[in-house]
Amino acid sequence: MSISLPETFAKLPRYPLLYSHPSPIHPLPALTNLLNRSPKSTPAVTLFAKREDHSSPLACAGNKYRKLEYIVPDILANTLSSSGPGTRPRAITTLVTEGAIQSNHTVQVASVARRLGLESIVILHKATGGALAASPDKPTFLRTGNVQIARLLGAEVRMLEDSSTVGEGDPITPILEGLRAEGRVPYWISSGASLHPLGGLGYARCAFEIAAQEKEQFGESGQFDCIFVACGSGSTVGGLIAGFKLQEKIEAQAPHDTNPAAVTKRPRKVIGILTSPTKPREYHEARVLDFARRAARLIGLDPEEDISLDDVHLDDRFAGTAYGVLDPDGKETLALMAQQDGVIVDPVYTVKAMRGVIHWVKEGDLMKDWSLPSEASSKQSPVNALFIHTGGLSALSAYAELE
């Protein structure tokens, strides 16, 4: 499939980490039929899944590889010049990143380091979220799942008791300084790669990929009306918002005689399901807006004119008691997805995102929110909802409470 990006976006350096074909989109027929039995889900909602867990040949495919595709060129181009005349610049030797104990992001960074022939150091915070504290088998939680895979990939795993992040006075700055003192040249990648200036570009590009797949699925007249995705650090959601804004701007500027259906299409709505209750929704909304505007500026949009807080839609009702904690509702959702459509979701992100999807359809929230045009409403046209599966299945084995 050919993905056509506008010139400004297409010129941005990208290092391929994904398959040459898009991650697949497929319907979820059993779950669709089950949820549409609810009298509140009228007109019908058709559910689809985009399988980012099938996006890359590298270990534990997931959404971070898309982000890293735009960060790798910066890693390869980044050199540090030693002081003094006649010294040579030194290339990056070590990727350093952080996350919670069962972080998917850290595994994907470790895998990219292998691809690039670099070392990797994975810093895991025991106090991030509540998963370790809630685990009935803490030694297993600290040893298996993503921790085990990071070590298999050759990463040096360091576990810290607190959950501080990089900055003055935190425990990570001394680690970076220690590496430099040893003669190594570290490249820091923040948790989830969201704080990196290029962190939102991968999912801005993914929006164009989804738009191209829509044409295969629905022809010129249809689209995915709502896109549901887990929202952790926030740049996946922000990138999608920016990408769809640019895509829709291009569609609106196209001659109407070439695609009359584009005139009546409504903006696609990205709905982020928050996965942690630590910060209020307003904090995450401001953060996602910042990420969306940062990506917008790079891909050719006017960040202030084209992106506003009205474009940010987050739902905090399914975050649970703590980040990474799998509660009874989560276990029920895991089982439901597995037994309805044979799809396995992860215990940290996609399980909460899917809980949100199920609620929005079953309880009629999607139809209340989606003000259908009168013509479409009279025809009882279905709404197409897309769930983005961001990966994370490798963490399952660490959750000893799952049977």
CATH of residue 41: 3.40.50.1100
173 and 292 assigned to the same domain:
no
pLDDT recorded at residue 88: 57
Q: Would you say residue 126 lies in a domain?
A: yes
- Whether 113 and 308 have beta carbons less than 8 Å apart is answered as no
Domain final residue, candidates 142, 162, 189: 189
Residue 233 backbone zone (phi > 0: left; psi -120 to 50: alpha; other: beta): alpha
State the alpha helices, DSSP H only, in 3-43: 7-10, 29-35
In a domain, 403, yes or no: no
The count of structural domains within the chain is: 2
In a domain, 335, yes or no: yes
Q: Please state whether 183 falls in left (phi above 0), alpha (psi between -120 and 50) or beta.
A: left
Same domain, 251 and 361: yes
CB 233 within 8 A of CB 349: no
Residues 333 and 373 placed together within one structural domain of the fold: yes
Q: List Cα–Cα distances, 255 to 260, 263, 268, in angstroms.
A: 8, 10, 20
Per DSSP, what are the bridge partners of residue 227?
Answer: 270, 386
Are 325 and 373 part of one and the same domain?
Answer: yes
Which residues constitute the domain of residue 375? 7-56+196-398
Measure the CA–CA gap between 336 and 354, rounded to whole angstroms. Answer: 10
Domain annotation covers residue 253: yes
Residue numbers in the chain where pLDDT is lower than 50: 81-84, 372-379
**Active centre residues (catalytic):** 103
Q: Are residues 156 and 236 in the same domain?
A: no
User: By CB neighbour count within 10 A (0-12 exposed, 13-18 middle, 19+ buried), where does 151 fall?
Assistant: middle
Could you tell me what percent of the chain has a pLDDT over 90? Answer: 79
Do 259 and 152 lie in one domain? The reply is: no
Residue 1 lies in a domain: no
Residues 389 and 264 in one domain: yes
pLDDT in tens, 199-232: 999 999 999 999 999 999 999 888 999 999 999 9
Are 296 and 385 in the same domain? yes
Query: Considering Cα of 294, then 296, then 297, then 298, what sign does the dihedral take?
Result: positive
Question: Considering the entire predicted model, what is its pTM?
Answer: 0.93
Q: What is the pLDDT of residues 296-330, one digit of tens each?
A: 999 999 999 999 999 999 999 999 999 999 999 99
Same domain (yes/no): 76, 180: yes
Q: How far apart are CA 403 and CA 401, in angstroms?
A: 6
